[in-house]
């Protein structure tokens, strides 16, 4: 079955880049997602990447996908205090993309002033 792993905690100084890593086991993943959860809130989709892509950039966010190693990363440039949150990676193995997502445990990002 699918398994998605992330480290639980990451601390970064304000202004530095944050890199959050994720590994997954199912090589038939079609879409891979990054979600952000702020305290007391639901999940907000940050970005996603289709499995035939290596990289996707969206403003301060860069997603890198290494299919051979089944490794996904999210880089946040110029990290700000508003980036403090829990970040979840998720994979979908569906051809449609959306009926079943498998989530990692989440990485809590703490910003050091």
Partner 1 sequence: EAQVTQNPRYLITVTGKKLTVTCSQNMNHEYMSWYRQDPGLGLRQIYYSMNVEVTDKGDVPEGYKVSRKEKRNFPLILESPSPNQTSLYFCASSSRTGEQYFGPGTRLTVT
Tell me whether residue 7 or residue 27 sits nearer to partner 1 (CB atom): 7
Q: For partner 1, which residue of 29, 63, 72, 106 counts as binding (CB under 8 A)?
A: 106
| Spatial contact of 107 and 20, defined as CB atoms under 8 Å apart | yes
Taking the complex as a whole, how short is the minimal distance between the CB of residue 30 and partner 1, in angstroms? 10
If phi over 0 gives left and psi between -120 and 50 gives alpha, with beta otherwise, what is residue 28?
Answer: alpha
Q: For partner 1, which residue of 29, 88, 91, 109 counts as binding (CB under 8 A)?
A: 88
Q: Which tokens is 108 given?
A: 């809590």
Contact region for partner 1 (CB under 8 A) — 13-21, 37-45, 60-68, 74-82?
37-45
Instruction: Classify 81 as helix, strand or coil.
Output: helix
Question: Judging by DSSP bridges, how do beta strands 71-76 and 107-112 pair with one another?
Answer: unpaired
Q: What x-and-dash track marks residues 39-78 binding partner 1 by CB under 8 A?
A: --xxxxx--x------------------------------
Rg (CA), the chain: 13
Contact region for partner 1 (CB under 8 A) — 12-20, 57-65, 75-83, 100-108?
100-108
Longest CA span, the chain:
43
Contact residues for partner 1, defined by CB under 8 A: 4, 8, 41-45, 48, 88, 90, 96-106
């Amino acid at each position: 079955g699918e398994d998605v792993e992330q480290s639980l905690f990451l601390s970064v100084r304000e202004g530095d880049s944050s890199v959050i890593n994720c590994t997954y086991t199912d090589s038939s993943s079609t879409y891979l997602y990054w979600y952000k959860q702020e305290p007391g809130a639901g999940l907000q989709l940050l970005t996603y990447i289709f499995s035939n892509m290596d990289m996707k950039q969206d403003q301060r966010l860069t997603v890198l996908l290494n299919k051979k190693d089944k490794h996904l990363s999210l880089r946040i440039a110029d990290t700000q205090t508003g980036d403090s949150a829990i970040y979840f990676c998720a994979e979908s193995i569906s051809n449609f993309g959306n009926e079943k997502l498998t989530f990692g445990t989440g990485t809590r990002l703490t910003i050091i002033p």
